[in-house]
Structure 1
């Protein structure tokens, strides 16, 4: 790889104030001419258009004296217009700087942004403008607060506080709101190790949404990578920096959900906003031959060419920017196999994945992969290289199957509880366990709806996953039936306890701790309304208190969250590190493991100090007497409510419940 692309500090791209003016630079391997365009409140004047000189490695640059921070600008590029060859140059299109640090307004889709060359429509009035911004001083380099085994709390920044009654109304839905005292108290009550902010880089609506009166609310359709969306950060980058600092003071890290697999320019009918107009053929992957069809491994219309040097540099520079200037603790990579994809398929040792893991600025950050994409061979769970953690959908699905009552699932449940070492074969697991996330049913909905209800999305319920592992306990949706409501509450308690008592890193989607519902919509990306805005006033406080208790237990017992491999061998002078027991307290036999009707199991853990912790699971709807190994001078103490003892030793485990007990000296 040319040194130009690895030595970013020596050749900074974007707009860099120099003291006497601003130097602008942008890369294109195929453009023949490039112009910088400056804008004021009246728009662009011909005298504010500067042709940029092509220099080393395809970088176009110009320095304009007498201007500084706050200047608004964009680029125009010219060259061949031959879409069948992957060339889309059109000087009527104003283009966003891929290295823009701030923009003056949010993106808004307009069909005129997608008109072909020769349409005589200048898109400058339709596009946000980049703002020349001076970088703040780098934050003091500190190691991330979050460590594997902690609790990641997935947050949609806008929906998280939009209805929060204790947040000033003018701050709701922004990053500033997350730093408010009431929100921080909630995070600390749940023992959150790090919040994972869903995308905050500036995004655009998909073209089919405006006619439906809908807006993209999740942010997984980016145009700018470094510039924050004005809807969630109206005060700009400083708001992220302040949030990271405020949460760090409380012992909470910040992980950014980043999208480097596609952009909002979509397919060949999509708008020309930035990369397409600068060098479509270099920034996006194409099928071989002509016509040059965009590869669509993301089901969004395009796929970034993450093996190309210019794209690799853009990704690395973006990640470094957030670490150096905001102090973020890590990143979750959406559709992460794209980062390691080429025409030959996914490779765990792909250059970009290796560069991220080895980069001096990034190598100690938390790196979380969503290890699948919709393209051929896109399911890559367990194949990402260390130190990447991976979202574990096998945990999600297998835990749901067990609690739905599917036959023959107890052995698989035990494997998931123990850290999924059938998938992660190193000495320590890299799993991120979850039972619900932003994509799919909310936790409350998966026990209330047997099928999706996505009609409000305007696609006649065709969108979203059609095979959710879910159940409704006899009635679809909400109910006033006390029996069914009671069964659903048991199911929620059981799912949450299974999550919190599983080894490895865990993730909880914000609001699932108090029963958030999307009314059966399992693809609510376009519902920027009460469907996804958390109902803080109407939250289920009993469920919230239960989750807080689970968090306290997990936090107090490191053996529950450890990422270390369980061997079944001595973890202390007295006990194996794990034993699997049946109702009598005796070890499970081979026949027990293969019993398709088995619904009960105990995971008995021992730490290095000889302290034993029992996670007792009764997946049957019937109560069962459960026994645990006894030793003189010690008693088993239940750490969760609803444990009815028959005597000093065995106890009655209610149907569809999970218990956690600790052995203590009498």
Structure 2
């Protein structure tokens, strides 16, 4: 499929079974001037194809596809509109929001628009993307118990980084710079999770406001790296620079995961542009409404849904995934709105849908890291815990429970000790089935979608006016706590409380069972000024501010050091990152997790519904020769007052505290029979 260079020329192949004919259109190197049109001579099993003997790498091309115009029957063929090859590995041009891209007449949507858009349309460039030195995917895989995810945006991560050369800031090359990777390794990050890097098209509405889809969840090129993150250095291409960045990540022994969007395309709903698949074979590529096939199913909230029940569409997705794994050096994928990938209009979501079956049997993709965002907005769209064995899932219930426990005490929406304990031990209700491990739960406090950690303790309300939607967008219920002042404050008491809460949340994230995910910038105290939906803010709102990161006395540096020490503690304590489920009623002498009240007595059913403090005893009961011998104790106090804990029998030594100045001891001090834990704090001890 796509444009494939061979010794005999370039072979072109396009899936369009309903089309009547397909024209290959060749352009000059700028993509501005059409030079030739050639009909693809053959159609085999719905694939239009032909060999161009004179074709070479670097050739710029697009398609014009002929067929019926019958929107209410699902057909939107319009040869006046030049179409992008879905398999294009490099894309020329950028969608500008002009109505010249519309396949329909703007004044009469039931009619074709006859204006030619060839000059401005998106086009593909023929490339030879294969690499003989590609290491098989999975070579940088991290043990499930050791994995620490870090969600970042390629541009935002380095756009303001003083340690990155100015010409490389905000690019793939900038992310590969030693100053950037040094910082991530020092934090204890094992796995970089990049927000979308496949070629996108910004929505017309955003373009009209001089904004862009900064997050990138509006893909139109599933094989082409987003050129906006390319440095443009001579001798490089977006693909070669991305591959070099992947190599730099792997050289550190780290993994690279990319966020992918196969649930919808940038062509939006029936009023949207005709950029590629809509004009190639609309009825093949999209889920259309049964009652009126001029309309699209919209389980994504973005206007359309790709139909992975169609074998050719599934092939497109599988080919794209294999390309990124085998050619681009990617170790795994985070799937946006993943239930859509296993949906159809009649049966809804099915964890045994063709997409999941195809992944499971694929010798390459089955070995990559697979992470689902387990919800969409369709009927029955919330599917946490229902993805196949081997998959990880973003656990938003962990997020909400921890926020409710640490930030909302005394309010109606506070989380109790029972909920806290359930999420702390990896949400067994959702994940302890079909052989799934605790690491299937991707635990997070913050992610790209929502408040940053600093804003979570600085704002009660969203402040999204800059997005141009009258502050209606974004979550309205954030389970946040502004600590008495909305927004920035120089009150010492407010700042101390905010710092204490941030440290507690970071600590519980890295101490919980499951796979932790940090949001880029939380270790730096990054703020988006209360914007909890900054998807269209390509500016200082989302770019990480690194000024002060190198000053050991700065709050930024202290928080980064705090995270690094937490990660080191997590590596030191295998019981805190176990791949086994702790039994609820362990046999005598077996490894166990025990829940204790502050007075040292076992929790009773009543205790789970009252109070804000408890002790968690990881009683490993291993032999003295084991490096994991001994027990670990996690003391938790989410209340507003200091709590005195009676310690279980044993020679306990202090290992960590979220209290400022007590998070690290060169030689762990011995503890007595009791210890105090300050308000909104966690303390760790071991024997």
TM-score normalized by the length of structure 1: 0.94
Structure 2 distance, partners of 1:577, 1:421, is 15
Q: How far does residue 650 in structure 1 lie from its aligned partner after superposition? A: 1.0
Equivalent residue number for residue 419 of structure 1 = 426
Q: Determine if the alignment matches structure 1 residue 578 to structure 2 residue 593.
A: yes
Q: How does 1:239-250 map to 2 (within 5 A)?
A: 239-250=241-252
Structure 2 distance, partners of 1:574, 1:202, is 56
**Deviations, residues 512-561 of structure 1 (Å, cap 9, x unaligned):** 11111111111100000000000011552221111111111112212112
Q: How far does residue 35 in structure 1 lie from its aligned partner after superposition? A: 0.6
Equivalent residue number for residue 484 of structure 2 = 474
Q: How does 1:258-277 map to 2 (within 5 A)?
A: 258-277=260-279
Equivalent residue number for residue 434 of structure 1 = 444
Q: Work out whether residues 408 and 594 of structure 1, in 8 Å CA contact, stay in contact via their aligned partners in 2.
A: no
Equivalent residue number for residue 7 of structure 1 = none
Q: How does 1:119-198 map to 2 (within 5 A)?
A: 119-138=113-132, 139-141=134-136, 143=138, 144-149=140-145, 150-198=147-195
Equivalent residue number for residue 10 of structure 1 = none
Structure 1 distance, partners of 2:658, 2:300, is 45
Counterpart selection for 1:547 from 538, 543, 563? 563
User: Do the aligned partners of residues 393 and 46 (structure 1) sit closer, same or farther apart at CA in structure 2, a change above 3 Å counting?
Assistant: closer
> What runs of 5+ residues in structure 2 fail to find an aligned partner?
106-111, 550-555, 664-668
Equivalent position SS for 2:64:
strand
Considering only aligned residues, what root-mean-square deviation do their CA atoms show, in Å?
Answer: 1.8
Equivalent position SS for 1:583:
coil
Equivalent position SS for 1:223:
strand
Structure 1 distance, partners of 2:22, 2:10, is 17
User: Do the aligned partners of residues 641 and 379 (structure 1) sit closer, same or farther apart at CA in structure 2, a change above 3 Å counting?
Assistant: closer
Q: Work out whether residues 151 and 520 of structure 2, in 8 Å CA contact, stay in contact via their aligned partners in 1.
A: yes
Q: Work out whether residues 137 and 330 of structure 2, in 8 Å CA contact, stay in contact via their aligned partners in 1.
A: no
Q: Determine if the alignment matches structure 1 residue 59 to structure 2 residue 75.
A: no
Equivalent residue number for residue 4 of structure 1 = none
Equivalent residue number for residue 8 of structure 1 = none
Q: How does 1:327-366 map to 2 (within 5 A)?
A: 327-343=329-345, 344-366=347-369
Q: Work out whether residues 78 and 89 of structure 1, in 8 Å CA contact, stay in contact via their aligned partners in 2.
A: yes
Q: Work out whether residues 419 and 563 of structure 1, in 8 Å CA contact, stay in contact via their aligned partners in 2.
A: no
Q: Work out whether residues 402 and 415 of structure 2, in 8 Å CA contact, stay in contact via their aligned partners in 1.
A: no
Structure 2 distance, partners of 1:353, 1:237, is 28
**Deviations, residues 475-514 of structure 1 (Å, cap 9, x unaligned):** 1111111111111111101111110000111111100111
Q: Work out whether residues 568 and 576 of structure 1, in 8 Å CA contact, stay in contact via their aligned partners in 2.
A: no
Q: How does 1:276-355 map to 2 (within 5 A)?
A: 276-343=278-345, 344-355=347-358
Equivalent residue number for residue 84 of structure 1 = 72
Instruction: Kindly tell me the number of residue pairs found equivalent between the two proteins.
Output: 646
Q: Work out whether residues 37 and 44 of structure 1, in 8 Å CA contact, stay in contact via their aligned partners in 2.
A: no
User: Do the aligned partners of residues 335 and 42 (structure 1) sit closer, same or farther apart at CA in structure 2, a change above 3 Å counting?
Assistant: closer
Equivalent residue number for residue 647 of structure 2 = 628
Equivalent residue number for residue 402 of structure 1 = 405
Structure 2 distance, partners of 1:569, 1:244, is 45
**Deviations, residues 160-215 of structure 1 (Å, cap 9, x unaligned):** 10000010111111111111010011011111111001100000111111121211
Q: Work out whether residues 654 and 670 of structure 2, in 8 Å CA contact, stay in contact via their aligned partners in 1.
A: no
Which moved further from structure 2: 80-89 or 495-504? 80-89
Q: Determine if the alignment matches structure 1 residue 640 to structure 2 residue 657.
A: yes
Q: Work out whether residues 444 and 492 of structure 1, in 8 Å CA contact, stay in contact via their aligned partners in 2.
A: yes
Q: How far does residue 43 in structure 1 lie from its aligned partner after superposition? A: 5.3
User: Do the aligned partners of residues 646 and 329 (structure 1) sit closer, same or farther apart at CA in structure 2, a change above 3 Å counting?
Assistant: closer
Counterpart selection for 2:685 from 654, 661, 664? 661
Q: How far does residue 41 in structure 1 lie from its aligned partner after superposition? A: 4.4
Structure 1 distance, partners of 2:266, 2:359, is 24
Structure 2 distance, partners of 1:585, 1:229, is 56
Equivalent position SS for 2:10:
strand
Q: Work out whether residues 286 and 293 of structure 1, in 8 Å CA contact, stay in contact via their aligned partners in 2.
A: yes
Counterpart selection for 2:58 from 42, 66, 70? 70
Q: Work out whether residues 479 and 485 of structure 1, in 8 Å CA contact, stay in contact via their aligned partners in 2.
A: yes
Structure 1 distance, partners of 2:670, 2:244, is 54
Q: Work out whether residues 582 and 601 of structure 1, in 8 Å CA contact, stay in contact via their aligned partners in 2.
A: yes
Equivalent residue number for residue 567 of structure 1 = 583
Q: Determine if the alignment matches structure 1 residue 367 to structure 2 residue 382.
A: no
Structure 2 distance, partners of 1:412, 1:342, is 34
User: Do the aligned partners of residues 521 and 205 (structure 1) sit closer, same or farther apart at CA in structure 2, a change above 3 Å counting?
Assistant: same
User: Do the aligned partners of residues 52 and 599 (structure 1) sit closer, same or farther apart at CA in structure 2, a change above 3 Å counting?
Assistant: same
Q: Work out whether residues 646 and 652 of structure 1, in 8 Å CA contact, stay in contact via their aligned partners in 2.
A: no
Structure 2 distance, partners of 1:226, 1:46, is 24
TM-score normalized by the length of structure 2: 0.91
Equivalent residue number for residue 24 of structure 1 = 12
Equivalent residue number for residue 600 of structure 1 = 613
Equivalent residue number for residue 552 of structure 2 = none
Q: Work out whether residues 148 and 504 of structure 1, in 8 Å CA contact, stay in contact via their aligned partners in 2.
A: no
Equivalent position SS for 2:245:
helix
User: Do the aligned partners of residues 647 and 129 (structure 1) sit closer, same or farther apart at CA in structure 2, a change above 3 Å counting?
Assistant: closer
Equivalent position SS for 1:170:
helix
Q: How far does residue 361 in structure 1 lie from its aligned partner after superposition? A: 1.0
Equivalent position SS for 1:63:
strand
Q: How far does residue 647 in structure 1 lie from its aligned partner after superposition? A: 6.4
User: Do the aligned partners of residues 612 and 127 (structure 1) sit closer, same or farther apart at CA in structure 2, a change above 3 Å counting?
Assistant: same
User: Do the aligned partners of residues 625 and 93 (structure 1) sit closer, same or farther apart at CA in structure 2, a change above 3 Å counting?
Assistant: same
Counterpart selection for 1:456 from 466, 469, 488? 466
